[in-house]
Structure 1
Amino acid sequence: MNSTHFSGPLRPTHVVTCFLSQDNGQILIVQRSQRVGSYHAHWAGISGFVEQNVTPDEQALVEIGEETSLQRDQVRMLRRGAVVEHIDEELGRHFYVHPFLFAVLAPEHIQTDWEAVNMRWIDPKDLSNYQTVPKLQEAYTSAIHGETVA
């Protein structure tokens, strides 16, 4: 067995990934800093761990506020995707990714925090050109095909 692999049961880990979109169809991706726990320098949506006793919907809004400085009235949840699973044996985690699609009403107000070193608005079809966190494309597909949020 490879020594870099975690041994023991995988820890179930629920995370949210939020895709922020503009009217022109572009989505925001951020490049993860060296200060985050995993996947350094990889591109991702706005994401974070789902805290205990917090719903994924609520956690999504918390993460957007923390990582982009956008207030709740500056975004609108459009869709909630089906959970995307990812097993990372090196981290010893079984990730359950809760994907969301949000409209950004005030993109000029975005200011990223310490978790990101870079941000870009991209055409979603260009996602494959970036080194992303695992399953980001699948999470995006799930979000855009997810249930519409009233």
Structure 2
Amino acid sequence: MAAGSPERRHVVTAFLRHGDRVLLVRRSGRVGTYQGLWSGISGYLEDADPLDQARREVEEETGIPSAVPRLVSAAPPLEIEDAAVGRCWVVHPFLFEVDDPDAVRLDWENLELRWVRPADLGEYATVPALAEALAACLEREAAGG
């Protein structure tokens, strides 16, 4: 890494959708970054396929078995530089459909959840570029995958 270049970290963000709403979760004070902000289900990309990691994060953070949510779309990775934390996040966004929104049981990583319309995302203090990541998934869905 060149001097002054932000550290690059690959992460996954999984959006869960039920009907016309997507799940937002508010990050707890026990996570490493962006405590108190709203996000999708997310986590560091470990030594795994991004889709597999997204499914694992969904299961860990919501209690919904990884095989249950149906993959709707996978958008190309987005690069998001955040000078405040000295990182360039490479976000791998996914959109899943769930049948039972009441099945979500949050773990320690998140404090609360809300099912919101995508158009209302701007009303929440979110992690950087969350709306862009969701928009990329929705555009990919509209394009057929």
**Matched ranges for 1:71-90 at <5 A:** 71-90=65-84
Q: CA deviation at 1:70?
A: 0.3
- State the percentage of identical aligned residues: 40
Residue number in structure 1 paired with 2:10: 14
**Range moving further from structure 2, 121-130 or 140-149:** 140-149
| Partner Cα distance (1:16, 1:73) in 2 | 17
1:15 to partner: Cα distance = 0.6
Q: TM-score, normalised by structure 2?
A: 0.91
TM-score with structure 1 setting the length: 0.88
Match of 1:100 in 2: 94
| 1:43 and 2:38 matched | yes
The answer to whether the 8 Å contact 1:56/1:98 transfers is yes
Instruction: Give the aligned CA root-mean-square deviation in angstroms.
Output: 1.4
Aligned residues: 141
What's the secondary structure of 2:133's corresponding residue? Answer: helix
Structure 1 stretches lacking a partner, 5+ long:
1-6
Give how far 1:74 is off: 2.1
Q: Which runs of 5+ in 2 are unaligned?
A: none
Once residues 98 and 43 of structure 1 are traced to their aligned partners in structure 2, the CA distance between those partners, rounded to angstroms, is 17
SS at match of 1:70: coil
- 2:129 is matched with which residue? 135
Deviation (angstroms), 1:45: 0.3
